[in-house]
Amino acid sequence: MALQMFDDARIQNKLSGNPLIRKICSVMGRVQSFKEQARQFYFEVVLSSFSCPACEGRLQMTGTSECSCSCGKILDPTLTFQKSSCCSAKLTRKTFHYVCSRCHKSVPSRFLFDERIFDKAYFQEMMRESRQRSKKKREMVKQLLADSRSGVLDLTETPDLESLPGLVEDLNGFIGAQPTDMAQVEFDERPEFRMDDYRTHINSILGWDCILFSEIGALIDDMRDDKIWRFITLVYMQQDREVNLSQQGQDILIKRVYHEAYA
């Protein structure tokens, strides 16, 4: 992830130095500025023929399909001033649009520039109901788990498997185990993973040419653990920008990262 962010930043720096990209960004900035001025002029013209219902003061757009007056009145101009062209009736606000209150036909708002209305109250109610359903479901699961628990087992003495004749033999037969003399058991201690040893080993065979992961020799006899530890070491080496890793079929291609210190 850190390597990807570094690559993205490097690409952005290269693009920002491109004169064509700079010109395009400048044009986009001017278009955005012109669009905002056009939006303000449009709403000034549209609202010029309306006044605040409370004090007859001047209205200004303060949000998506929302205007306010200096007296503190806030209203939806589409619902307050606009009527449907089909039935000349008041409009009703739905989730993402307005409809005629009589025939329920969709009606475009005169008080939207290029925005899309978003009924916050509707989605807040939907989120509240969703949280309530999730909470109720969690409580039901907790209750089911509580009901499925077995009763408390009170032990008055330490369990003794030998107290039931043949129980140990039956359990061994059930799991396929063989009787074992613990005095003769030899415990095999697994080697400890030391990343510095693997890092030194990899650097010792890694030149300036690319090599494959499968070409790195093992340090221990356990091939499975050795493969895992080699891979973990390489991942950390890539995070430290010592190497670059890339997929090469079923293998991994490893390349040393060039730094000025090596020049």
Architecture in CATH for domain 195-262: Orthogonal Bundle (1.10)
Of all helices (H) and strands (E), which one includes residue 253?
strand 251-256
- Which residue is it, tokens 């693997």? 198
Overall pTM > 0.85: no
Cβ atoms of 234 and 213 closer than 8 Å: yes
Mean pLDDT, range 83-91, rounded to an integer: 90
**Which range has the worst mean pLDDT, 68-72, 172-176, 217-221?**
172-176
Residue 261's pLDDT is 45
What pLDDT was estimated at residue 144?
82
Sequence ranges of the domains in the chain = 195-262
**Which position has the higher pLDDT, 207 or 242?**
242
pLDDT at 83 over 60: yes
Element of type H or E holding 39: helix 19-47
Instruction: Give, as one character, the DSSP assignment of residue 183.
Output: G
- The confidence band for 187, taking pLDDT boundaries of 50, 70 and 90, is low
In 3-state terms, what secondary structure has residue 15?
A: helix
Residue, of 191 and 119, whose pLDDT is higher: 191
Euclidean distance between CA atoms 60 and 67, whole angstroms: 5
pLDDT of 58 > 70? The answer is yes
Separation CA 174–CA 131 (nearest Å): 47
Q: Give percent of the chain above pLDDT 70.
A: 79
Task: Give me the helix-helix angle, 2-16 and 19-47, nearest 10°.
Answer: 90
CA atoms 223, 228, 229, 233: torsion sign: positive
